Structure 1
């Protein structure tokens, strides 16, 4: 399809029966701190707190009378589901939403409140999607795609129409979160048509970067695993139509970490008092990374805040990780003598830095390993400076700030080394639903002994568990074959320095 056809579709997109024109706010604190003019397009202020209402309504409003009579169906665990439900209700159309069993009750209830029928099926989006297609085949329902549809893309493109009209200054770059690509496809084709000088930069989480992988490969690829922290953009493969447009009109893609997303959520809150969902904060996280990389100063940069449907239970996790993502906290493992006064000498070595966390348990009469959180100030240097200063005081320290296992599990488990033979350690991710932990234990619990176990609910659709198992070396291949059969995503962590320093048997 030629670009001008998309331009016509975007300009004629019918979205304002249900959507609203959202403001562009100046992020005053962020602008001052980063020495740039930073603007936020507030799509979190839509009636469903997400831009998805635009594409869903434009797509459904284009249906013929015959199609409307059939009813619509969509597979979604989040914002698209609410967009379809609200749009169908406004137009008097029956809507069915297939959601994974792992979908939090707050999202299920939100969709039901909008008048849609909800079917819970499977433990993943892929399973829900497959089932939704059977409803299309068996009952003639019309499927409303969340991103890979011309009308959906055009509806999302209306964000760009508003943005260029609202911002009178010259814009240097616009940062757009990417999941399946509907938003960045619609925005980029319109902006590049009118303002080819503006950079369009996609932003994806490092563990679900389907557009970046496709651009690097020159073709659409399927990610073998997809991270779920930013579930709104957790897509394994970029759309076919959206990839075609992204190849032509997107300048680059920046990837961000979970910690950087948490820091961006805090940044948005500080400037707007709105709590963005992780996918909604993607653009701000990428914008900050771009400024640091380019050493940009005095530019006008726009981030699209795409949504604010965050489960309240996840706020604790976000708050814990935000300071690390901002570079204002380091997590370290330090070795100090097991003798009176050692802790005081350690604090003295830190200088004026504040300790935010200190975990320790007596293990032996020699050296003690402590798990420590330390605040960092820009004028005091970063993590490398901290480690170097401790080393100069003859304190051995290991930086664990980027160690996911340490941040999710070890910080809550510091309790000394156990006398356990043949222990191997694995980190698992499994669908979070009623009875999921018991099901996981039932599958895992035989024939090898569980020697260590840590699980903590983070308010997300997936539970995360750290497990120690007693597996003799000669059983290792058989054991991993058994894990493959379980069907849960897993990574071995036996050699992880955090485990070795705090929990591994001392004989290792």
Structure 2
């Protein structure tokens, strides 16, 4: 196993643990020297709404507010005296870093945590407060991990893997043991998947003791490395991962975790940011818990699975894996939760530019609540040209009602574009209504994920230089380590040099010139 390390306390890559050994190691794992036995709490309101009993494993109540303390402590507790004396090293920008730091403090071991230079100060300070020694290195996790592995070899430190280590997996497996002790009648368990350590540990325990219980992995659609590996028959590296659900934003599933997942999981589903946002709200409304986005991934998958398979009368459990939320993400989550629950439709509508038309438009909606209405008169528009509005409408019956609204508006003579599933519309365009391109401008539109670090914007401009005129620029942060930028350049479709320069930036980008919302509201 690639991350297992080379010391004698880790499994030999040529001799993977079987189910019996995992069960033995989970049962004897000394995790309660550091971790809490967390409750499995019912969600009464959601249970009534879904027609199934829904329970949540509250790993957000751990001292470090995530499950990671279990695996980190179990791996570090197994170190020899000599290994403890030399210390440990790991790479992480999130919950694993805090789990290792807390475990090291309890065991009296030096812990060096390598974190990317773009890591927010709040996370760096949290690790230091827990006793970890922080080294900022590299622009991303992969670079930080490479430095951690180099230091492990150079200084004789033991590398503590975040997921692809059997002792880490066994530590996380104690959650599964608690769950079946707390509810012996469970039908299905839903577990978030990042690198696979949590879902592997829970699955190997449950399938040894209660094989009739289904274990279902849940991935965020922008970091579905397990699905990619299952399709390829082996772990593969994703070219890019989204960072909204940062705790599960892993580019490559572990070797050992993939072996276990492929053998043991009953199903794997993927969820969107909107579905995760809706699940965050469910957890708050039912339990007054405030999870980080990755902490709500499993509940989002549970809800999707119930709807897709028409489940009724079952006992379903999911893991709330963490609550180290960046407070600024709440704005984004709140905004997207309505869409994720199919309670809001986002539409682009063409209406005549005449007095009283908004009143007529509202009457066509038939008393439905308008949640957003964006419009700006354009001085450059020809006389008599229709207006284009961005409108949000409250829904009570989901997708069927959305289709009805579109049909009613079209029947009234309005042109309608349904933008509810359009990411660009929800992140950028809704904030830019009223600014349309000048007549005759030829431009190309791109979206970027932009690292939240000093000098990032300067580097962006230096690489692109003054070769292209910037004709549009919108920046938005949702509280994660990366902000989002929408920008346009005065350039034609045949200008290959533009994308060559963008490739040199090293930032994830995508051309959006033909996006429906951009064509509707921003282009001439």
TM-score, length of structure 1 as denominator length:
0.97
> Could you say which residue in structure 1 is the equivalent of 2:14?
none
Partners of 1:17 and 1:406 in 2: CA distance: 49
Partners of 2:464 and 2:433 in 1: CA distance: 24
Residue 376 (1) aligns with residue 402 (2): no
> Could you say which residue in structure 2 is the equivalent of 1:78?
94
Residue 471 (1) aligns with residue 486 (2): no
> Could you say which residue in structure 1 is the equivalent of 2:433?
414
Shift of 1:39: 0.4
Among candidates 204, 228, 233, match of residue 213 of structure 1: 228
> Could you say which residue in structure 2 is the equivalent of 1:117?
133
Matches within 5 A, 1:72-151: 72-151=88-167
CA contact (8 A) 1:327 1:382 kept: no
> Could you say which residue in structure 2 is the equivalent of 1:482?
501
Partners of 1:425 and 1:257 in 2: CA distance: 24
> Could you say which residue in structure 1 is the equivalent of 2:187?
172
CA contact (8 A) 2:350 2:389 kept: yes
Residue ranges of structure 1 left out of the alignment (5+ in a row): none
Deviates more, 1:327-336 or 1:209-218: 209-218
> Could you say which residue in structure 1 is the equivalent of 2:4?
none
Matches within 5 A, 1:420-435: 421-435=441-455
- Equivalent position SS for 1:21: coil
Among candidates 305, 317, 320, match of residue 290 of structure 1: 305
Deviates more, 1:439-448 or 1:292-301: 439-448
- Equivalent position SS for 1:16: helix
> Could you say which residue in structure 1 is the equivalent of 2:58?
42
Residue 315 (1) aligns with residue 330 (2): yes
Q: How many residues align?
A: 503
> Could you say which residue in structure 2 is the equivalent of 1:396?
415
CA contact (8 A) 2:342 2:399 kept: no
Residue by residue over 1:263-295, the C-alpha shift from the partner in whole angstroms, topping out at 9 and shown as x without a partner, is 010011111111111110011000000000011
Among candidates 374, 381, 386, match of residue 359 of structure 1: 374
CA contact (8 A) 2:294 2:321 kept: yes
Partners of 2:327 and 2:398 in 1: CA distance: 34
Partners of 2:112 and 2:398 in 1: CA distance: 55
Partners of 1:381 and 1:424 in 2: CA distance: 35
Partners of 2:357 and 2:65 in 1: CA distance: 51
Matches within 5 A, 1:142-161: 142-161=158-177
Residue 447 (1) aligns with residue 467 (2): yes
CA contact (8 A) 2:342 2:398 kept: no
- With over 3 angstroms needed to count, the CA separation of the structure-2 counterparts of 1:18 and 1:379, relative to structure 1, is closer
Partners of 1:17 and 1:379 in 2: CA distance: 47
> Could you say which residue in structure 1 is the equivalent of 2:346?
331
- Equivalent position SS for 2:31: coil
CA contact (8 A) 2:219 2:268 kept: yes
Residue ranges of structure 2 left out of the alignment (5+ in a row): 1-16
- With over 3 angstroms needed to count, the CA separation of the structure-2 counterparts of 1:260 and 1:380, relative to structure 1, is closer
- Equivalent position SS for 2:276: helix
TM-score, length of structure 2 as denominator length:
0.94
Partners of 2:399 and 2:232 in 1: CA distance: 41
Residue by residue over 1:51-102, the C-alpha shift from the partner in whole angstroms, topping out at 9 and shown as x without a partner, is 0000000000000000001111110011000000000000000111011122
Residue 263 (1) aligns with residue 283 (2): no
CA contact (8 A) 2:46 2:286 kept: yes
CA contact (8 A) 2:444 2:493 kept: no
Residue 194 (1) aligns with residue 209 (2): yes
CA contact (8 A) 1:75 1:128 kept: yes
Partners of 1:56 and 1:350 in 2: CA distance: 55
Deviates more, 1:479-488 or 1:24-33: 479-488
Partners of 2:464 and 2:194 in 1: CA distance: 33
Shift of 1:380: 9.2
Partners of 2:273 and 2:234 in 1: CA distance: 26
Deviates more, 1:373-382 or 1:31-40: 373-382
Residue by residue over 1:169-199, the C-alpha shift from the partner in whole angstroms, topping out at 9 and shown as x without a partner, is x211100000000011111011011111111
Shift of 1:473: 4.3
CA contact (8 A) 1:429 1:465 kept: yes
Large movers: runs of 4+ above 4 Å: none
Deviates more, 1:215-224 or 1:37-46: 215-224
CA contact (8 A) 1:362 1:416 kept: no
CA contact (8 A) 1:208 1:236 kept: yes
CA contact (8 A) 2:112 2:133 kept: yes
Shift of 1:432: 1.3
Residue 274 (1) aligns with residue 274 (2): no
> Could you say which residue in structure 2 is the equivalent of 1:52?
68
Residue 25 (1) aligns with residue 44 (2): no
Deviates more, 1:370-379 or 1:380-389: 380-389
Among candidates 335, 350, 353, match of residue 365 of structure 2: 350
CA-based RMSD: 1.2
Residue 241 (1) aligns with residue 256 (2): yes
- Equivalent position SS for 2:33: coil
> Could you say which residue in structure 2 is the equivalent of 1:340?
355
